[in-house]
Amino acid sequence: MKPLVKLVFRLTLTILTFFPFKIFASPQMPDYIIYKNDTIATYNLLVEQYLQKRDQTNREQLFGLTFRDGASFNCWRGYQAIYKIQNDSLFLSDIINCGSIKSKTFDKSASVKKMYAIFGDKMVGDKVFIDWFSGELSFPLTNKLLRWDGVFYRIYEAETVLSFYNGKLLKAENVCNYANVSKGIDRHYSIKISDILFKYIKKIKFKNTDDCDCSEKYLITIDKEGKISNVKSVKYKSVDEISDSDEKNEYTYCTNTIRKALSALKFDIIKDKGKPISEDVYLEIWVEDNGKVENWTN
């Protein structure tokens, strides 16, 4: 590709992908949970889970607020929820306007009115028993951030995990979400994994012809054991989606070549709520006609 055309292509891609993310995917305010007299930020959307199970044709007006319309970029829901654990049961204690917990300006009576409009007979006095939730809630024991989706969900290196069944507390435990592996590659939050992967990919001697160009956006999977388990194009979920035989051969060659180059790597293990998780790492490369590989990852 000629240098000028290549530059225009790259600038256009940046405009289309980078700026919408910045505009529409702003970091969001957390909810809060009151546990053992502490009020702690939590990144679990329990009210949203309830709303998703209901037929909400006029959902935007539920709280006397309009979702997104006029709401802060940092609070697209238009509200924050406060949960409370009382007698080993999980309750919704309040629904408040964004940011009012810190300014201490929220109105308890207004909160109760909002909750009654949504939950009706599920109200128990001035709160709601969250019997629709079975699963785990977590909140940080440390400020060491391990993973963040850039919007809401966060994983911290050390967390308290509370396990619930139909709103009843079954177990509480402290967990560590990072495990060092012998000779494993560091995966702490400050480490840019895509740069580490590129160090090995740039050594590849790709064949670069009219029929085969590996310039592409890829998702590279680090599995629960810290090994590279899959390489796929962002464009396709699998090779089976490709009907054109030449394009299928190109896809297979490029993904297999990258996976082979990364196969010996071993990473430390990331966990969520104490359980190992896999992780997809985004990487975009550009292969020049002379075989030189460039890192185009934002």
pLDDT of residue 86: 93
Same domain, 137 and 62: yes
Query: Mean pLDDT, to the nearest integer, of 288-293?
Result: 88
Identify whether residues 79 and 158 lie together within a single domain.
yes
C-alpha torsion sign, points 275, 278, 282, 288: positive
Whether 269 and 168 map to the same domain: the answer is: no
Amino acid at 35: Y
Looking at 143, 160, 176, the residue that finishes a domain is 176
**Mean pLDDT, rounded, for 38-58:** 77
Is 188 a member of any domain? yes
Question: What's the confidence (pLDDT) of residue 18?
Answer: 36
In a domain, 49, yes or no: yes
Query: Which phi and psi (to 5°) does residue 211 adopt?
Result: -95, -5
Predicted pLDDT at 71: 53
pLDDT value at 293 more than 70: yes
Would 5 be classed as within a structural domain? no
Note down the domain range covering 132: 22-176
Q: How far is CA 38 from CA 34, 112, 267, in A?
A: 5, 22, 36
Task: Kindly indicate the confidence band of residue 47, based on its pLDDT and cuts at 50, 70 and 90.
Answer: confident
Average pLDDT over residues 55-59: 51
Q: What percent of the chain has pLDDT over 90?
A: 53
Are residues 271 and 200 part of one domain?
A: yes
Report the domain count for the chain: 2
**Predicted local confidence at residue 15, as pLDDT:** 31
Last residue of some domain: 156, 176, 196? 176
User: Does 62 score more than 70 pLDDT?
Assistant: no
Task: Kindly state whether residues 122 and 205 are assigned to the same domain.
Answer: no
Q: If you average pLDDT over residues 152-179, what whole number do you get?
A: 96
Same-domain pairing of 131 and 37: yes
Please tell me what DSSP assigns to residue 284: E
Per-residue pLDDT at 21: 38
**Contacts of residue 112, Cβ cutoff 8 Å, sequence gap at least 6:** 123, 126
Same domain, 186 and 52: no
Average the pLDDT over each of 132-141, 142-151, 185-194, 235-244 and give the range with the smallest value.
235-244
Q: In whole angstroms, what is the distance from residue 149 CA to residue 163 CA?
A: 23
Q: Please give the mean pLDDT across all residues of the chain.
A: 84
Please determine, for residue 108, whether its predicted confidence score (pLDDT) is greater than 80. Answer: yes
pLDDT band at 240 (very low <50, low <70, confident <90, very high): confident
